[in-house]
Structure 1
């Protein structure tokens, strides 16, 4: 999709928004956003302060609920990554089987986070719907 998910929902682009909303609830629950973080990470703290509360209430969270894991701890059960993260925060989009489909390393602020995340979700939904 040329336009991001957030643009489609909030920008009033009717046909695109309707197509996204018509995706079944099962498809929406197939994605998860894994945040790799660690204690003492000031960038993780900035994300948790500035973005996490808005994320939980966002349309993006409906398509990819946020889950978390510690950088040096075990991954959630069933998660398969292309490589072990080494930077915090790292955001990894997972499909229904828990396999990594895309990754954002770091958090350079919400102005970059939202468009990149939306592109990740758009790409994943396009792969699952056609």
Structure 2
């Protein structure tokens, strides 16, 4: 029941109802130069990528508000942090700035872990 409510909260807060259970939560902060670098280098192609289709991106400011029903291992302290969620529960995370050459393999490993 709790898992169902968590998934429903995620859907209602920012995501299309047709999306699958995996989500990639990007924790960002206004003025974060590394978040802006990700937006420029990786962000434009993310939704069209295999990873983007498998785990649609949702964004949250590090200071909130946070979607209800999240089960995280710990609160993020650095931006950007990317948290792979399965039905609202954390599967794994990537912390800090990464180049595209670092980000894609690391995210692929997280997705493989989730499967």
Interval containing the TM-score (normalised by the shorter chain): 0.7 to 0.9
Q: Runs ≥4 in structure 1, deviation > 3 angstroms?
A: none
The TM-score normalised by the length of structure 2 is 0.81
Q: Which runs of 5+ in 1 are unaligned?
A: 1-27, 126-130
The TM-score normalised by the length of structure 1 is 0.72
Q: Which runs of 5+ in 2 are unaligned?
A: 1-18
Indicate yes or no: 2:101 matched with 1:111: yes
Q: Deviations over 1:31-89 (max 9, x none)?
A: 10000000000000000111011101111111100000000112112212111000000
Cα separation, 2, equivalents of 1:112 and 1:41: 19
Cα separation, 2, equivalents of 1:72 and 1:59: 30
Indicate yes or no: 2:68 matched with 1:73: no
Larger radius of gyration: 1
More strand by share: 2
- In structure 1, the residue matched to 2:80 is 89
